[in-house]
Structure 1
């Protein structure tokens, strides 16, 4: 029998005084397993340590399906991906036909641009598809398998011209032979006459319109707006002076007097963003199609500034999808894990349905409801739970979840067959990625880059009987977590739960790097593939013009791993940095992040379309992305735990990054704010992501600020190191070679990153704080390389006196596991379901500390000469004191770099 140990009993006086305690924890089921993909009917292990066991008939299809349409005759299904569609026989789904196919049998109808809108014509043959970034609708013939026409949204209407439109969701209004289409660039809904292919109406709606639905009587359209703000251009910035007039640091924190009203910084009045509670922000609008007037504006879900269980809400509800019945409209609020009910007659919110799946985790968020399907009798609502790998079956009579249907990883859309006997579900990441290199690996046609090799899934599920639904519900829970008894003798430095006892580890330094897999850095160690260890020691560096032998590229990484402890079973939950910097900061990427990260979406600071200045931070977290009560920063702030940030969150959309932008590493042309919790705790003189700046310079900045703040306090002032320091060390991301700047090889960036990591550990281990310190070293994502076990497997190393020396951890770990270390050690309550259910990494630690400091190694100077790289800054390093020893993640750019490096 499954049960949860009452939280209040964990800390009773009787238990606290006992020498041995049995404590119940929640952990993922595959903590003793490595990632694997089982296509024969078993289960697959995900990077999170969760499992997926999709039920029904399952097909692996192209990655990231965010659009789904079923033909009126029930014979065809179309899944829409980034720049591709999958055509599926709904009656007998044996395989999916991808268009364009890799053999180039069929012409490419999209030229790379699509988004999430898909709708069949009444003839069940033609399908209308969102052209996304190109601002058009593609008309595709599913029988001929070819594009037959397209319709542009950039048409003049009512004496107004529109340019740079972006096609979001769309729906067919058969009663008028028209399409209703969302243009997220211009914050509007348009009506298109299919006979003339002309726009007949342009109706302003809320910010970043994302989801669209039509009432059964075809009288009303409902628009879900996921945008929070309309971001203004920084005053004084022009295309010609942007490098000198951009802001050096975000002007204000979110939801403050300054962010609402504006502030004067850097000699200019920076406009505010206004209130996040206005009707245009994260809302649902009801449009009367008889008059083209907006008849209702609804703020669904919980609102920013409200309190939930003593925690302030910092993230908007993110209403993303609407299912409309004769009386009620249902809205999925991703951030709140609930469904809002709108009464269509009274035009008021009639209540909310809390999506509760199990009492052990219901108090945490993490389900992320997305696409929905409503039965014709309006008694049942099917909800795709993007964060839980299941479809929730909601009884609308009782307003409760009555069961779960297991899916692939990250379900996005769900549809009912016309006869309502079957359910169709698509999942973004399916069964995971699997290996993308190593002996015996055969490169598939789709490629080896993580975004190419990872397939989505399509499921056809016959609606379950009550007995089947009960079984599937337990299966979905068992895939996600289990209750694990931990015997605690009080000695392990990692407490089994937050607040259960005090740890001798007082300070945590959380270092994140960029884009590397386990095998390419640590492949010469446990469970590695040495043939893939191109950044190891004693390797051969080969380029088109040169060959170097016996090169030590990243010797400090190997020394740290072997001297302290590392994992050979750690995985990034992320595919790329846009996901990674969310996950590692304790923020689950929502539907806005996921959809935008996988589709072309051009940013233009100077556009007349306000939606083109959309937030799409690759190394930061945008206001549209905030989780309900935030992530790591907010959790620490609530507990009044001191923390400080060096460089995290600086990579906003369209920032300028040059070698002399070393104050913060990036300058912004558009007014983007920083999270309120971290704004005052972020260094103004540490360069975050900027590949024109050596990591070695960052170490100068770090040591200088660390020394001034925490090693040489003013006379009579007592200081203490913050309990958590986050530090970004990004140069192992890699960039184009620059011999004149000291980076003659792609490996030069890795060597810079390596020696800088060695330097920081050497510095920290010689401070008085070392005796109570833990250093966590990891990567934000693995997309730059290959791995013979899984493309998500990456680097995780722990260093410090209480870390078990020479230890290799085989416990399945992910970002949730790292955050569980932070929260348990510092006594901070978990924030979301991924923290609460992550594996517990107690095997890394010992109660017998070893205070020996670290001594850095110097990589081969043939590939990286620190002094050469620092010439431009006129800085030198006193080597006698040393102990012996591009823009971030544009998917297309990273894909090119991935394949270029594989060919070197």
Structure 2
């Protein structure tokens, strides 16, 4: 039976759970519904202007004439908008500081016509002067503030408060607030706070500070900086907003709880908590409230004040009656709205990822000449929308629900008899790069880099089971890719810091269980990067579903990651999540491209490559699959096979053309054979007819694909999958998660996986049950080793650590792989963005 996720919508409206404004003509949308790689659609209201990469903050000038926008991505800039028209008046790129790539981060604050701008890992707060005609010029003072995040000025303009987006691994990841003298620039005091503090509000004699890690709000004495107390509000607190005249109060956006807290600043107590989730999504996180603004009382609204909240993961602005605390409805926004501001011209909305699902990428033909390569993080253009009449109506609210798949029916998935699920996550390949030469499906063989001779098993499995040629990675790069792969979404911290860190900024790789080199779970504090719904393994434990982990979220506790995507040279494999203790194989090597995934090199009698790690673990395993196969056999023999098995096989990432490493073709072929060996082992076991194997890439590395740079390879392998199936419906990372959840009886983690189309590709009987025999790639391919004269070998060594995933090397690595395989003189093709329209009926 098909049921809409929003089956209680009508009841919720009738009961007043979701008040909809009087039906009026909705603002016309600027675009038709656009399918995104994460499965959602956007229909942004209003007029758009481009404001650089990933805008995070909108700040009206004191005189109300202008609004300043801060963008933190690859094209980091300050943009001044006309408050009436929303048009761009001027832009300013921050000045370079030493050899660092200049940029901005988050916080903005005005004191008169002086603008303070936090610059993150530039380790400074810069000042600028805003002229009467809307031009910005560099100010005289700069404040030395490492990891500068939020900024605020005291009421007398004599003190500047700055948060550091930071957690001290030597002090339980505690954060810090810096207090400066605005006249001299001198640092007056450092105050220890909850970890990863972000926004600041100054009200009377007190200072309020949010914490992305701990949640809640720290309250300090404005003059001395003394910590007075904490106010518990919700998870992942982000934005603060002072409201009111004679009786002011404070609003707090709790991004991880999907709520806004109202704080009485006299007693510092929470007087009201406003839930922003639609009625049909209660209990499931994924709205992510961020920036806020308030419209004063008006007779046309019955004297009510309206609160507008940017709901980043809903791609919408929530409209709330502050008097009653009731949610009035939603306004459709662009992709990932982060901030809002009310002006004479209407409502301005910052859309961090813009309004286009299709972002064309030109040919990176000049990369080798030193020109900055085109890359998914620097081609997505952020925008600001101006909505002239921001009224939440039944039509606008219904559009938001439709865009988020909250009002449509979903086919239920009936488990045909699957008891065991194996989930394999690989690294960074598009569909065309691997299966473009398959001969069936929507492929382009001219873009294929690792075709049938390199990946014979992936080709054979796609032909025998189900070919998914409209499958997408939900994320852009590995930082958010791994969070989508195991959590169904990326938290607001990850969503903001990935585009910041992947554009050359020095920032720790906090996205796989470590924060600033520390391990939060071991320190007894919250992981700042954890998505609000937790992890797949948490849901398994919640339902008492047995599991075993091979390589996911593993590191070394004696030498954890300390820099962007850095691995560890330690010989131990240890889970960084407490929930994975006792269920993680310590014989399965952590991410390391110098260590083999498969036994192919052994079967061919080859010597290890010069920089290959030949063995690992107490048993001296020569590949990851060797360790996995041994444990699988032991689990079979002892009748302890888990219901859920997690396996990380990442060597298809490659090490580029770094001298002494196996070539890209060799590493991808090795990875392919590991998949083949795993399927062979399972298909010859007595549990084959009760097993389903799901395989995907964590992200598509912005690679070449004639449909979209997010399109990737995905596999469902089971005797219940009809032979030689072909399914061109839209599926993505969350589709795999949702399917596994339904098969194992797990609750969804977030709105992303809850609403994702399940992979309904199973038949009623396990008729496709013939054992599979892995295909060994040719010896010549497995044995390929990069020489010193290989194309851009030194660049590969500079860009890639075999123990680390890429930080901003995607596009350069794509170009290296293309020319090393296709020929030095060949031109990489243009990139395409924008998945095919989601079709949820079987072709």
* Shorter-normalised TM range: 0.7 to 0.9
| Whole-Å separation in 2 of the counterparts to 1:572 and 1:128 | 38
Cα deviation per residue 1:805-848 (whole Å; 9 max; x = unaligned)?
A: 22221111112211121111122232321222111321454535
1:59 is paired with a residue whose SS is strand
Q: Residue 898 of structure 1 corresponds to which residue in structure 2?
A: 814
Q: Residue 282 of structure 1 corresponds to which residue in structure 2?
A: 215
Q: What is the TM-score when the length of structure 1 is the normalising length?
A: 0.73
How far did 1:461 drift? 1.8
Query: Is 1:650 the equivalent of 2:631?
Result: no
Q: Residue 226 of structure 1 corresponds to which residue in structure 2?
A: 212
Quickly say closer, same or farther: Cα 1:437–1:410, change in 2 above 3 A: closer
Q: Residue 829 of structure 1 corresponds to which residue in structure 2?
A: 747
Q: Residue 826 of structure 2 corresponds to which residue in structure 1?
A: none
The within-5 A match list for 1:779-798 is 779-783=697-701, 785-798=703-716
How far did 1:415 drift? 2.2
How far did 1:436 drift? 5.5
Query: Is 1:851 the equivalent of 2:837?
Result: no
| Whole-Å separation in 1 of the counterparts to 2:528 and 2:588 | 26
Quickly say closer, same or farther: Cα 1:568–1:446, change in 2 above 3 A: farther
| Whole-Å separation in 2 of the counterparts to 1:66 and 1:631 | 26
Decide whether the 8 Å contact of 2:295 with 2:307 is kept in 1. yes
Quickly say closer, same or farther: Cα 1:350–1:682, change in 2 above 3 A: same
Decide whether the 8 Å contact of 1:565 with 1:844 is kept in 2. no
1:768 is paired with a residue whose SS is coil
Query: Is 1:191 the equivalent of 2:179?
Result: yes
Quickly say closer, same or farther: Cα 1:200–1:482, change in 2 above 3 A: closer
Query: Is 1:43 the equivalent of 2:36?
Result: no
Q: Residue 85 of structure 1 corresponds to which residue in structure 2?
A: 77
| Whole-Å separation in 2 of the counterparts to 1:789 and 1:95 | 33
Query: Is 1:504 the equivalent of 2:417?
Result: yes
| Whole-Å separation in 1 of the counterparts to 2:91 and 2:373 | 15
Of residues 467, 480, 490 in structure 2, which corresponds to 1:566? 467
Query: Is 1:71 the equivalent of 2:56?
Result: no
The within-5 A match list for 1:323-334 is 323-325=241-243, 326-334=247-255
Q: Residue 688 of structure 1 corresponds to which residue in structure 2?
A: 590
Moved more, 193-202 or 361-370: 193-202
Quickly say closer, same or farther: Cα 1:759–1:98, change in 2 above 3 A: farther
Decide whether the 8 Å contact of 2:277 with 2:287 is kept in 1. no
Quickly say closer, same or farther: Cα 1:477–1:453, change in 2 above 3 A: same
Q: Residue 576 of structure 2 corresponds to which residue in structure 1?
A: 674
| Whole-Å separation in 1 of the counterparts to 2:682 and 2:593 | 24
Quickly say closer, same or farther: Cα 1:690–1:703, change in 2 above 3 A: same
Quickly say closer, same or farther: Cα 1:647–1:150, change in 2 above 3 A: farther
1:286 is paired with a residue whose SS is strand
Quickly say closer, same or farther: Cα 1:615–1:812, change in 2 above 3 A: farther
Q: Residue 171 of structure 2 corresponds to which residue in structure 1?
A: none
How far did 1:602 drift? 4.1
| Whole-Å separation in 2 of the counterparts to 1:438 and 1:69 | 34
The within-5 A match list for 1:137-152 is 137-140=125-128, 147-149=138-140, 151-152=142-143
Decide whether the 8 Å contact of 2:207 with 2:220 is kept in 1. yes
Q: Residue 556 of structure 1 corresponds to which residue in structure 2?
A: 457
Quickly say closer, same or farther: Cα 1:287–1:736, change in 2 above 3 A: same
Query: Is 1:630 the equivalent of 2:534?
Result: yes
Q: Residue 201 of structure 2 corresponds to which residue in structure 1?
A: 213
Cα deviation per residue 1:21-76 (whole Å; 9 max; x = unaligned)?
A: xxxxxxxxxxxxxxxxx996222111122110111112344332223333233234
1:475 is paired with a residue whose SS is helix
Decide whether the 8 Å contact of 2:346 with 2:388 is kept in 1. yes
Moved more, 181-190 or 559-568: 181-190
| Whole-Å separation in 2 of the counterparts to 1:92 and 1:528 | 45
Decide whether the 8 Å contact of 1:647 with 1:727 is kept in 2. yes
Query: Is 1:298 the equivalent of 2:231?
Result: yes
Decide whether the 8 Å contact of 1:520 with 1:536 is kept in 2. yes
| Whole-Å separation in 2 of the counterparts to 1:575 and 1:643 | 28
Q: What is the TM-score when the length of structure 2 is the normalising length?
A: 0.78
How far did 1:97 drift? 6.6
| Whole-Å separation in 1 of the counterparts to 2:499 and 2:7 | 41
How far did 1:753 drift? 1.1
| Whole-Å separation in 1 of the counterparts to 2:356 and 2:640 | 43
The within-5 A match list for 1:882-893 is 886-893=802-809
Decide whether the 8 Å contact of 2:654 with 2:667 is kept in 1. yes
Cα deviation per residue 1:159-195 (whole Å; 9 max; x = unaligned)?
A: xxxxxx2111112446325432113447332233333
How far did 1:294 drift? 2.7
| Whole-Å separation in 2 of the counterparts to 1:226 and 1:3 | 34
How far did 1:894 drift? 3.3
| Whole-Å separation in 1 of the counterparts to 2:289 and 2:711 | 27
| Whole-Å separation in 1 of the counterparts to 2:582 and 2:697 | 25
| Whole-Å separation in 1 of the counterparts to 2:224 and 2:292 | 28
Query: Is 1:364 the equivalent of 2:265?
Result: no
Quickly say closer, same or farther: Cα 1:622–1:452, change in 2 above 3 A: farther
How far did 1:899 drift? 4.0
How far did 1:381 drift? 2.1
Q: Residue 534 of structure 1 corresponds to which residue in structure 2?
A: 449
Cα deviation per residue 1:231-271 (whole Å; 9 max; x = unaligned)?
A: xxxxxxxxxxxxxxxxxxxxxxxxxxxxxxxxxxxxxxxxx
2:336 is paired with a residue whose SS is strand
Cα deviation per residue 1:193-214 (whole Å; 9 max; x = unaligned)?
A: 3332223343333222111123
| Whole-Å separation in 2 of the counterparts to 1:128 and 1:46 | 35
| Whole-Å separation in 2 of the counterparts to 1:614 and 1:206 | 15
How far did 1:759 drift? 1.6
Q: Residue 191 of structure 2 corresponds to which residue in structure 1?
A: 203
The within-5 A match list for 1:437-836 is 447-465=373-391, 469-485=393-409, 496=412, 502-525=415-438, 526-537=441-452, 552-600=453-501, 602=506, 613=517, 623-628=527-532, 630-650=534-554, 653-654=561-562, 663-664=572-573, 674-696=576-598, 697-710=623-636, 712-713=637-638, 719-737=639-657, 740=660, 743=662, 745-783=663-701, 785-836=703-754
1:195 is paired with a residue whose SS is coil
Decide whether the 8 Å contact of 2:568 with 2:803 is kept in 1. no
Of residues 386, 391, 400 in structure 1, which corresponds to 2:312? 386
| Whole-Å separation in 1 of the counterparts to 2:806 and 2:364 | 30
Decide whether the 8 Å contact of 1:644 with 1:682 is kept in 2. yes
How far did 1:593 drift? 1.6
| Whole-Å separation in 2 of the counterparts to 1:648 and 1:788 | 31
Q: Residue 876 of structure 1 corresponds to which residue in structure 2?
A: none
Quickly say closer, same or farther: Cα 1:447–1:560, change in 2 above 3 A: same
Quickly say closer, same or farther: Cα 1:346–1:40, change in 2 above 3 A: closer
How far did 1:300 drift? 1.6
Any stretches of 5+ residues in structure 1 without a counterpart? 8-37, 155-164, 228-280, 302-316, 488-495, 538-551, 667-672, 714-718, 870-885
Of residues 406, 429, 432 in structure 1, which corresponds to 2:353? 429
Quickly say closer, same or farther: Cα 1:698–1:39, change in 2 above 3 A: farther
How far did 1:85 drift? 1.0
How far did 1:113 drift? 4.2
| Whole-Å separation in 2 of the counterparts to 1:590 and 1:283 | 16
Of residues 48, 52, 61 in structure 2, which corresponds to 1:58? 48
Any stretches of 5+ residues in structure 2 without a counterpart? 9-27, 169-174, 298-303, 599-622, 788-801, 821-843
| Whole-Å separation in 2 of the counterparts to 1:822 and 1:96 | 50
Quickly say closer, same or farther: Cα 1:622–1:450, change in 2 above 3 A: farther
How far did 1:440 drift? 14
Decide whether the 8 Å contact of 1:48 with 1:813 is kept in 2. no
Q: Residue 255 of structure 1 corresponds to which residue in structure 2?
A: none
| Whole-Å separation in 2 of the counterparts to 1:760 and 1:365 | 35
Cα deviation per residue 1:667-712 (whole Å; 9 max; x = unaligned)?
A: xxxxxx73333222211111131222111201111111111222x3
How far did 1:727 drift? 0.4
1:520 is paired with a residue whose SS is helix
Moved more, 106-115 or 182-191: 106-115
| Whole-Å separation in 2 of the counterparts to 1:209 and 1:698 | 40
Decide whether the 8 Å contact of 2:30 with 2:44 is kept in 1. no
Moved more, 284-293 or 832-841: 284-293
